[in-house]
Amino acid sequence: MGMTYIPSTLDEALHLRAEKKARPLAGGSDLMVQSKRGIGLAPEFPFDVMIITGLKELKGIRKLDDGSVEIGALSTPAEIADSDLVPWHVRQAASGMGAIALRNSATIGGNIGNASPKGDLPQPLILLDASVVLASIRGERQMLLDDFILGSKKTALGDDEIIKSIVIPDYDFTYLFYRKIGMRKANAISKLSLSVAAVVKDGEIIDFRAASGAAGPRVIRSRDAENLLKGHKTEEIPEIQESFLDSWNNAISPHAMPLYRRNTTRRMLSYFLSAIYSGKAEGIIEEED
Amino acid sequence: MLSEIVFHVNGKKIVYTGNPLTRLVDVLREDLGLTGVKEGCGEGECGACSVIKDGKLVTSCIIPVGAVNGSEIYTIEGIRDTEKGKCIIDAFAEGGAVQCGFCIPGMVMATYALLSSNPHPTEMEIRKGISGNICRCTGYDLIVESIKLASEKGGDLWA
């Protein structure tokens, strides 16, 4: 059983990370559950742990000079969902995580670091080309979240690094869509999720991107599929839609209920495309009940 | 580096020097005798162990005590004799919200958090407000009605 530390500053935490390889524990919503031993018993970990919940350096959501938004790793889903600074897709995902109490304790750093394919926040963050700021006693580095998450429960985090913050570039989309599918509305683990965003100007698709969550070991972004739509006129959508949908379907993992995930994703994407094609008012494409 | 964990529970200062990974629910129930805090699932899913930490609803079974240094924690024992607490408890009794009662301390804490931030919730907002609290007896309707009652009867209390 490992030791447990409670660092008071980020600097202390980085030294513990470097010297003891202590792993950070923040909200507890993943680690405390994964290692629970039952009533009256404290969880045990086979490695050293540091409880970083109190570190002020990892808190707060702020706008940077270039218009991007930096979210401290200890920000909770409730704080993210409530923040006007945070892009819509990410706020939607945050507001649908767990239930109220979980949204008050879980953290964005934990949701990313846990790297579950069913995690709610990586999906919209990867849609938005967000990057992750990693800190160690050697300094800081920043990398795309899409490169940081290597697979199910696997990340590129160095054994002396901790996740410090997440930076989301500034985008202005014409059309936006988000959907999480779970067994119930609260406390549901995603069965499938999808974010879509498009920039349409003078009838031309300038930008088009989508991200599928819980559809493979990593969040799916298929640039090849996205490129099939970019540069085309919206009036061409009926002709090019099938090749796009086929290409996106091929990006979805063939291993986990592919028929369900492909069909459902296909329906959501074609719903979004038909909304653009029919010249719907700009903004959020709502689902019809 | 912290060697002791200092926090407040129901207004009383606690200095904890044991294992920082001990779950908050165990400290509350076993060390402090606050057995109104119930443990259901132990995974943060059922809401029976809900307490208010720094004004926010949390499930005490997934929080290590090492994470509450400097926090103000309130349990059902800390609010039941306050005006707001009495308002909720009276409304739950009047509305017939309670059957076996195991989920009720958590429901009351969720109601307290809900009405403190939203004094006049719609039915949907009430249902969302208790969506992390599982009740296996009532089917929720009488709890929802009782929360409406607490909102109406409380009046300015929640403003």
Evaluate whether residue A287 is within a structural domain: no
Evaluate whether residue A288 is within a structural domain: no
Check which CATH number belongs to the domain holding A114 and give it.
3.30.465.10
Q: What chain A residue is nearest to B126 in terms of C-alpha separation?
A: A100
Domain that holds residue A73: 4-168
What band does A155 get if pLDDT is binned at 50, 70 and 90?
Answer: very high
Q: Are residues A150 and A210 in the same domain?
A: no
What band does A187 get if pLDDT is binned at 50, 70 and 90?
Answer: confident
pLDDT score at B61: 97
Q: Are residues A132 and A29 in the same domain?
A: yes
Evaluate whether residue A286 is within a structural domain: no
Fold assignment, B5-76: Ubiquitin-like (UB roll) (3.10.20)
Query: How far, CA to CA in Å, does A115 sit from each of A120, A123, A149?
Result: 10, 11, 6
Domain count, chain A: 2
**d(C-alpha A212, C-alpha A274), whole Å:** 19
- Mean pLDDT score, A190-219: 95
From the CA of A26, how many Å to the nearest CA of chain B?
Answer: 8
What band does A288 get if pLDDT is binned at 50, 70 and 90?
Answer: low
From the CA of B61, how many Å to the nearest CA of chain A?
Answer: 8
Delimit the domains of chain B by residue range.
5-76, 80-154
Q: Which of A168, A192, A210 is the last residue of a domain?
A: A168
Which chain B positions have a beta carbon within 8 Å of A6's beta carbon? 1-2, 5, 20, 66, 69
pLDDT score at A250: 92
Q: Are residues A92 and A142 in the same domain?
A: yes
Which chain A positions have a beta carbon within 8 Å of B49's beta carbon? none
Evaluate whether residue A131 is within a structural domain: yes
Evaluate whether residue A82 is within a structural domain: yes
Encode burial over A258-274: b for 16+ CB neighbours within 10 A, e otherwise.
eeebbebbbebbbebbe
Phi, psi for residue B24 in degrees, rounded to 5: -55, -40
Which one-letter amino acid corresponds to residue A66?
A: D
pLDDT tens per residue, range A100-122: 999 999 999 999 999 999 999 99
User: Touching check for A189 and chain B: CB below 8 Å?
Assistant: no
What's the CATH number of domain B80-154, 3.20.20.140, 1.10.150.120, 3.40.50.920, 1.20.1540.10? 1.10.150.120
Does A188 score more than 90 pLDDT?
Answer: no
Evaluate whether residue A220 is within a structural domain: yes
Q: Which of A126, A142, A168 is the last residue of a domain?
A: A168
Does A225 score more than 70 pLDDT?
Answer: yes
Q: Which of A131, A153, A168 is the last residue of a domain?
A: A168
Q: Are residues A262 and A145 in the same domain?
A: no
